[in-house]
Structure 1
Amino acid sequence: MKIDKKNISQKESITIKYFHKHTSKNFGIVSYTGEVGFDRTINQPNLHRPGLALAGFVKLFSYDRIQIFGNTEISYLNSLPIEKRKIIFENIFEFNIPCIVITNGVMPFPELIELALKKGIPIFGSSLDTTKISYLIVDFLDDVFANKLSVHASFVDVYGIGMLFVGKSGIGKSEVALDLVERGHRLVADDVVILTKKGEGILMGTGTSLGSHFMEIRGIGIIDVRSMFGVRAIRFQKRLEVIVELEVWDPNQAYTRTGLDITNIQIINVDIPIIKLPILPGKNITVVAEVIALNYLLKHYGYDAAKVLSENIQKKMERPEDFDISNVNYFEHDFE
């Protein structure tokens, strides 16, 4: 599997309009200033609590971040007379801040709204506490600004393991995915899979907004997996855990026989195990894929069949007198 760096993308900024559209829908964030300042941009995923800036110390003021007004900031501002608050807001708005989010369901000061409308700075509010809404916003922004890779593949949840099937066009990736869906597993995406780095060591996969659960089956055409198999047969995102590379059998290629040596591929600085699976007539790739998923689960829970067999062989070699080629030492009327 070759990674084309041209397919890796990352947003440099988003508009306040984009931010409000998604956070209002998912987190219940409301705008107190209408659509004023919706053309402003957010350029990074971090937030800032401007307590020191409100007190007058602006030397280290991270003004280019979303400003969060929590209980601490609101309590301090409540302790001040209106004229003093106006001066503070005027000083803050001298900086090019993207927007302000007021937490805990607190209504904004009228003088803050008045000045924000004049300066074109959006003021948002949330009924959630500061810790909760900050976590949700950062998680959303991390996802928006994360590196993303577009790959030609089929992505299926097999026994809870995210398996990405890659290979040359026409080798049968979609057919394997369809067979797995028919056996009760869940399709995440087919043809175009978007991989997003989510935190350290985690890649999340999803489809495109247009055709994530549509499949192209050569000889049949386009099918809708959700309509055909129901909602049980799909999911919208899944963590990528194993890559299965389908390729035509090559007698000169050395394929793994024991599984002791794990091969990884690095995708957006995340190591993912990759298994090369040769295609042969009569080989049931679907069942093999299920076995790969189950074997991954066993390894995750601490049992590695290849290592156990290797250790057993090593023990027998060390004590050959105990070695018996047969698994049982008696046969009587086919009873055990």
Structure 2
Amino acid sequence: PPRQLIRSIDRFIEFEIPAIIVTNNNEVPDYLIQAATRRYISILRTPLSTTRAVHLLSEYLEEKFAPRTSMHGSLVDVYGIGMLFTGRSGIGKSEISLDLVERGHRLVADDLVIITKQAEKVLIGKGREIAQHVLEIRGVGLIDVRRIFGIRGIRMQKRVEVEVHLVDWENAKEYDRTGLEDKTTEILGVEIPQIMLPIHPGKNITVIAETIALNHLLKTYGYHAAREFNKRLKEYMMNKDEVPLYQDHEYLKKDKE
């Protein structure tokens, strides 16, 4: 091979290179193979263009080396919103997930949710491969959601967008009744909305979960029900004195007639 090529290859492999990827199915020079073999460097060849290969490799490496954590809970896709149900063991997370799947929503993971941070503010959740889409229902045992409900009842992964933290109802405790102040929780440095949901026997948590998802969609599009109601209430209180005056005027007018 030309001396210039040999010098270029020698300088190139002086670095600690784990592998060399040759794109566009280009021919690999014999001297490069010999030099790489001496330094135990793998050579890979692909028909992909350089731009496409770099893009796919970058995505793969970002996913593999992304910050990750695991959380005890259940992740369900409800109306396109990734809802992470958390709470103490035995509070009913799996039962709620099963009920949601039966109503047409999709299970992502149960018991242990693996969460990775794949972008600046994007959290992706999925289940363990060995136990993916398997629900543990106390008193019943393990349930394979995919076998029972089919492919429409599962997802492989989903963005985590809302945490619904289930707590036991306490009569003496005050709970949020307006929702004016949005509470958040932090996972891997990313803040997401958190709903503290007290539960007790007879409370339809499934319908409430669906409502939380729809309400989150409304907030995403700029409509905040609690704040809108608060705004209307303030306007009403400011103008409340005008209503009786208007009514009195109408009554007086009718009396004269």
Q: What TM-score do you get using the length of structure 2 for normalisation?
A: 0.91
| Alignment correspondent of 1:174 | 94
Give the Cα separation in 1 of the matches to 2:31 and 2:62. Answer: 32
| Alignment correspondent of 1:86 | 6
Q: Which amino acid aligns with 1:278?
A: P
| Alignment correspondent of 2:32 | 112
2:173 alignment partner, SS class: coil
- For structure 2, the 5+ residue unaligned runs are 245-257
| Alignment correspondent of 1:145 | 65
Aligned ranges 1:12-23 → 2 under 5 Å: none
Q: Which amino acid aligns with 1:214?
A: V
Report Cα offsets for 1:282-324 as digits up to 9, x if no partner.
1100000000000000110111111111111111112114559
- For structure 1, the 5+ residue unaligned runs are 1-80, 325-336
Q: Which amino acid aligns with 2:39?
A: K
Equivalent pair of 1:188/1:213 in contact (CA under 8 Å): yes
Asked if 1:298 is matched to 2:212, the reply is no
Asked if 1:269 is matched to 2:192, the reply is no
| Alignment correspondent of 1:135 | 55
Asked if 1:255 is matched to 2:175, the reply is yes
Q: Which amino acid aligns with 1:116?
A: A
Report Cα offsets for 1:42-84 as digits up to 9, x if no partner.
xxxxxxxxxxxxxxxxxxxxxxxxxxxxxxxxxxxxxxx6222
Give the Cα separation in 2 of the matches to 1:95 and 1:288. Answer: 58
Asked if 1:210 is matched to 2:123, the reply is no
- Tell me which stretches of 4 or more aligned residues in structure 1 moved more than 3 Å: 321-324
Equivalent pair of 1:316/1:322 in contact (CA under 8 Å): no
Moved more, 154-163 or 298-307: 298-307
2:207 aligned to which of 271, 275, 287: 287
Give the Cα separation in 1 of the matches to 2:165 and 2:116. Answer: 20
Give the Cα separation in 2 of the matches to 1:203 and 1:287. Answer: 25
Report Cα offsets for 1:2-43 as digits up to 9, x if no partner.
xxxxxxxxxxxxxxxxxxxxxxxxxxxxxxxxxxxxxxxxxx
1:101 alignment partner, SS class: strand
1:185 aligned to which of 100, 105, 119: 105
Asked if 1:154 is matched to 2:74, the reply is yes
**Pairs aligned (count):** 244
| Alignment correspondent of 1:226 | 146
Q: Which amino acid aligns with 2:157?
A: Q
Equivalent pair of 1:162/1:240 in contact (CA under 8 Å): yes
Q: 1:284 to 1:124 in 2, by over 3 A?
A: same
Q: Which amino acid aligns with 1:156?
A: V
Q: Which amino acid aligns with 2:134?
A: F
Equivalent pair of 1:113/1:123 in contact (CA under 8 Å): yes
Give the Cα separation in 1 of the matches to 2:121 and 2:242. Answer: 45
Q: CA deviation at 1:87?
A: 1.9
Moved more, 97-106 or 276-285: 97-106
CA-atom RMSD in angstroms: 1.4
- Percent same amino acid among aligned pairs? 50
1:120 alignment partner, SS class: coil
2:19 aligned to which of 99, 111, 114: 99
Report Cα offsets for 1:228-272 as digits up to 9, x if no partner.
100110001000000001111012333211111011111110001
Q: Which amino acid aligns with 2:156?
A: F
1:115 alignment partner, SS class: helix
Give the Cα separation in 1 of the matches to 2:237 and 2:183. Answer: 28
2:6 alignment partner, SS class: helix
| Alignment correspondent of 2:255 | none
Q: CA deviation at 1:139?
A: 1.3
Q: CA deviation at 1:111?
A: 1.9
Q: 1:253 to 1:323 in 2, by over 3 A?
A: farther
Moved more, 195-204 or 116-125: 116-125
Q: CA deviation at 1:128?
A: 2.2
Moved more, 121-130 or 303-312: 121-130
Q: CA deviation at 1:280?
A: 1.7
